[in-house]
Amino acid sequence: MRNKPNQKKQLKTHLVPARHHTSRHARDMSTTVVFVRHGQSVFNAEHRIQGQLDLETPLDADGVAQVARAAPVVARIHGDAVAVYSSDLTRARDTARGIADALGVDVSLDARLRERHLGDLQGLPRADLRALAPEAFVAWKSGGKIPGGGESAAECDARLVEFFKFIASAHGDGEKVIAVTHGGVLGRLFARGANASDKRLCSMRRGVTNLGECVVHVRQGGIEWECDYAGWASGRFLEDADALTADDA
């Protein structure tokens, strides 16, 4: 890792979605963040909503096997990554540890990469959300603040802004880092990314598969993002993606 903890830079605090793909020169002058979704969890397999539940939602046996298969692939494709960051939730942390070991770097836990807190929806079967928690369901789908201690989409975005600001100050131009996170966070990246008008390319219901990838370029002096959607919803680092049908939250 090449962190510079004493270096503080004033950056804009808003997100500026890129309207076009950045040039090769612009990419060279940015820090690349490779977001990776965690492996399959117990609740993924049961199609239950996780949000920020933790101890109840570790990787299941299939998820552990996915990480073992995918970590060497991540290391081969992104062998130039200088750091691995991870949500502090167990399912992401354990995924990140496998990737970091394959790369030969440490894992830095960062709560800003947590899944969106889904309040009263957490722990419920996905099929029963509308019936069991109709107010929370509407808030979730509309981006509003979710009853039961949940977050709004804007609050989740604000955490991502702070993470990007940190990355821009801690890493130099041309560096690459891995960030292991969650389906809901990847959904926010997609909604605010360069290809927001192409949302049809990623159906969020079972669209962001485990070990899926989203690449974001962060520029110094502000934040412009660009998502690389190659393999976005196809289990980027797994050989057999067709078998993956885990939910995104």
What pLDDT is attached to residue 215?
Answer: 82
Identify whether the C-beta of residue 227 lies closer than 8 Å to the C-beta of residue 189.
yes
Which residues are annotated as catalytic? 38, 115
| DSSP code per residue over 179-247 | EEE-HHHHHHHHHTSTTGGGGGG--STTTS-TT-EEEEEEETTS-EE--B-TTTTTTTT-S-GGG----
Structure confidence by residue, pLDDT tens digits, 4-47:
444 333 322 223 233 334 444 444 568 889 999 999 999 999 99
Q: Is residue 85 situated within a structural domain?
A: yes
What pLDDT is attached to residue 102?
Answer: 97
* Dist CA 191 CA 172 (whole Å): 27
**Strands 176-181 vs 224-225: parallel, antiparallel or unpaired:** unpaired
Beta bridge partners of 218: 31
Q: Is residue 128 situated within a structural domain?
A: no
Sign, CA torsion 65/68/71/77: negative
What pLDDT is attached to residue 9?
Answer: 34
Q: Is residue 68 situated within a structural domain?
A: yes
* Dist CA 90 CA 171 (whole Å): 25
* Residue ranges, the chain, pLDDT below 50: 1-27, 195-206, 229-234, 240-247
Structural tokens at position 210: 């485990």
What pLDDT is attached to residue 60?
Answer: 96
Query: What CATH number corresponds to the domain at position 49?
Result: 3.40.50.1240
What pLDDT is attached to residue 24?
Answer: 47
Q: Is residue 180 situated within a structural domain?
A: yes
What pLDDT is attached to residue 227?
Answer: 64
User: Rounded to a whole number, what is the largest CA-CA distance in the chain?
Assistant: 51
* Dist CA 157 CA 153 (whole Å): 6
What pLDDT is attached to residue 235?
Answer: 54
Range of the domain at 190: 16-116+153-243
Count of the separate structural domains present in the chain = 1
The structure tokens 């797994």 sit at 238
Q: Is the pTM of this model over 0.75?
A: yes
